[in-house]
Amino acid sequence: MTIGFTLWFTGLSGAGKTTLAHLVEAELRARDYKVEVLDGDVVRTHLSKGLGFSREDRDTNIRRIGWVCEVLTRNDVVAIAAAISPFRDTRDEVRARIGRFVEVFVDVPLEVAIARDVKGLYRKALAGEIPQFTGISDPYEPPLNPEVIIRSAEEPPEASAARILAALERLGYLQPARQLAAD
């Protein structure tokens, strides 16, 4: 039985991708799944160090994350990617390579993302100190048909994570939690 798949969180900086990824990770680990989280910020520090924020560099970063997810998925690990991944065609390319892929669009109004800005990045981008900042001076292309849409300004993260897990069960990637307890 194949159990590996990729759960790909996409959305603006500050949307809640990493928070949701770790909530889902904790539940999957509690259900005895092998899970790895690839957070965009962490990947840029290790796997994509030296890449900038040009379109080409952003695409290279997403393709690298996608390759790691593909390898993990093929080896029956649940790969969770939490990366802005601003360009639709690059996300679609990664989806096509992996196959077992669930896209979660963490949608948040720009003004909410700016208000959540704990790193001060939006402030700097709005002041012109950070060029090519997604959502300000660089585009973000929302997915056309994500399996899950989370409106993170409208519900608490725990409720969003529960909806993601329910979608994974409905799509056949996870056994329902109650079935696991009965087995």
Query: Token pair of 11, please?
Result: 């959305």
- Side-chain-side CA neighbours of residue 144 (13 Å): 5
Active site residue 85: yes
Helix or strand (DSSP H, E) at 21: helix 17-30
Residue 116: helix, strand or coil by DSSP? coil
Q: Give the Å distances, CA to CA, from 167 to 31, 101, 123, 162.
A: 16, 13, 35, 9
Active-site residue, from 85, 137, 152, 160: 85
Q: Which residues are known to be catalytic? A: 85
